[in-house]
């Protein structure tokens, strides 16, 4: 059985710190500024041999205006998490004590009738607690509470023991086939802010899983969700938008951009999303190069095409031609025109991503590779500025690595120009199926 634990509470009580502690790595952004976490963030944990999922949520904030769309969406995400969870960890702050917000949250949790554990955070020394009206947490009506320090881990062992006890008591360890999600392919939606990344994830899932507003930079963490439809299984990852360095105006934006860069390293296929109404800009090519540098599969998604698809077909062809020209020689990348909001064209994305996944693992037999490539080199040998130095490529092979890497052995590899390297890449792509897959080419001394 896949058990789920959700961490809730008002802003800045240490929910993300506890989340990182339970999942064993810094997956959620932790910052002194309140309200950093907005969407739900998912992670995996294990205690005494039992695996379970942990969900970090945004902070309950009752003081904002009813017209604040972002805060309303954050609250909606928290309520969804409470409904879908098995156990709730309600976090409060010992240093501040009980606030009116904590009392309101407790009343909401009591209505759901879920297994709820009251967790008092920032307790560095239990003996130092001074019990008074502000720290008498029994007032919240949730019974026994657990004192912990999320930042250094003290008290979390007892809390985890109680979690396991609840699982055993209420779920009896029912056997269920659990998908090894860490082994599933990861498809990450990458792009500039406000191009529609979260909307695409919601359209795939047919529900408002992630917060979507017109406010640029709503998503701050990389968010994983499990996708299983039409015979495909994968992890979809929503990411914060990547701005130009000169336009990053706060620390949290910097952390969010770094989260996206980190996400690229641990993904299989990047879905690079572009706003059709803005076009392919310099920042898009920078993101494309970052993905290519990390040797990840790429699909380019031209979003908001519903604003244009009723117009002349040539607009689409010219749009595509311009992009391929700018990303050459790695220009055999799938370009899909979509509307994430209206779900136009999105059904093509996952099947093509799986095709690219297969191409990344494509291993060419050495004899076939040489049979195709050596005649090409003989007909079009590398040019050389050195007189009496005829450059020959005598042999080639693909290395047994997780991404396509080719070695070409030559008598004078040091004189082979970058332009000829691009020529070789084009020929490999012409004869073999590496659509959407970066390939690396090296020349070595024979």
Question: pLDDT tens-digit profile of 409-441?
Answer: 998 888 888 899 999 999 999 999 899 999 999
Which has more pLDDT, 151 or 40? 151
Integer angstrom CA distances of residue 304 from 127, 213, 335: 59, 15, 14
C-beta atoms surrounding 113 within 10 Å: 7
CATH of domain 181-360: 3.40.50.300
Q: Does 366-445 match 181-360 at the fold level?
A: no
pLDDT band at 27 (very low <50, low <70, confident <90, very high): very low
pLDDT in tens, 235-277: 888 887 665 544 434 443 444 455 667 778 888 999 999 998 8
pTM over 0.85: no
Best CA proximity match to 302, nearest among 330, 278, 322, 273: 273
- Pure H helices in 266-312: 282-293
pLDDT of residue 361: 87
* CA–CA dist 426, 299 (Å, integer): 18
Q: Where are the domains of the chain?
A: 3-171, 181-360, 366-445
pLDDT mean across residues, the chain:
79
CATH fold label, 366-445: GMP Synthetase; Chain A, domain 3 (3.30.300)
| Residue 272 and residue 299 in contact, taking contact as beta carbons nearer than 8 Å | yes
- The DSSP secondary-structure symbol of 132 reads S
**CB 295, CB 289: distance < 8 Å:** no
Most confident of 53-67, 216-230, 308-322: 308-322
pLDDT of residue 4: 84
For residue 269, count other CB atoms closer than 10 A to its CB. Answer: 25
Question: According to CATH, what is the number of the domain 3-171?
Answer: 3.40.50.300
């Amino acid at each position: 059985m896949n058990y789920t634990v959700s961490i809730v509470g008002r802003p800045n009580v240490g929910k993300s710190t506890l989340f990182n502690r339970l999942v064993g790595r810094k997956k959620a952004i932790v910052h002194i500024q309140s309200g950093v976490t907005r969407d739900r963030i998912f992670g995996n944990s294990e205690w005494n041999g039992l695996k379970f999922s942990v969900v970090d949520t945004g902070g309950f904030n009752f003081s904002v205006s009813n017209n604040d769309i972002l805060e309303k969406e954050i609250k909606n995400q928290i309520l969804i998490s409470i409904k879908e969870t098995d156990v709730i960890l309600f976090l409060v702050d010992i240093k501040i004590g009980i606030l009116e917000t904590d009392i309101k949250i407790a009343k909401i949790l009591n209505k759901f009738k879920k297994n709820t554990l009251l967790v008092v955070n920032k307790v560095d020394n239990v003996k130092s607690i001074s019990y008074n009206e502000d720290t008498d947490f029994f007032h919240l009506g949730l019974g026994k509470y657990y004192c912990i320090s999320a930042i250094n881990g003290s008290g979390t062992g007892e809390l985890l023991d109680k979690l396991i006890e609840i699982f055993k008591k209420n779920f009896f360890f029912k056997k269920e086939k659990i998908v090894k999600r860490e082994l599933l392919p990861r498809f990450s939606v990458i792009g500039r802010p406000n191009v529609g990344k979260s909307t695409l994830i919601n359209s795939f899932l047919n529900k408002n899983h992630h917060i979507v507003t017109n406010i640029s930079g709503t998503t701050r963490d990389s968010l994983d969700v499990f996708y299983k439809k039409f015979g495909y299984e994968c992890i979809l990852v929503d990411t914060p938008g990547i701005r130009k360095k000169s336009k990053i105006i706060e620390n949290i934006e910097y952390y969010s951009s770094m989260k996206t860069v980190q996400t690229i390293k641990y993904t299989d296929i990047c879905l690079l999303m572009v706003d059709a109404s803005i076009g392919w800009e310099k920042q898009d090519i920078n993101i494309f190069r970052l993905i290519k540098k990390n040797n990840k599969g790429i699909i380019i998604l031209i979003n908001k095409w519903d604003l244009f698809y009723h117009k002349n077909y040539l607009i689409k062809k010219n749009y595509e031609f311009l992009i391929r020209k700018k990303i050459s020689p790695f220009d055999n990348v799938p370009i899909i025109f979509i509307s994430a909001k209206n779900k136009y064209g999105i059904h093509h994305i996952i099947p093509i991503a799986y095709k690219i996944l297969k191409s990344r693992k494509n291993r060419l037999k050495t004899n076939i590779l040489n049979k195709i490539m050596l005649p090409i080199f003989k007909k079009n040998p590398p040019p050389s500025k050195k007189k009496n130095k005829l450059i020959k490529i005598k042999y080639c092979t693909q290395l047994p690595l997780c991404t396509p890497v080719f070695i070409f052995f030559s008598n004078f590899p040091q004189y082979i120009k970058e332009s000829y390297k691009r020529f070789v890449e084009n020929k490999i792509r012409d004869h073999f199926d590496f659509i959407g897959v970066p390939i690396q080419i090296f020349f070595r001394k024979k």
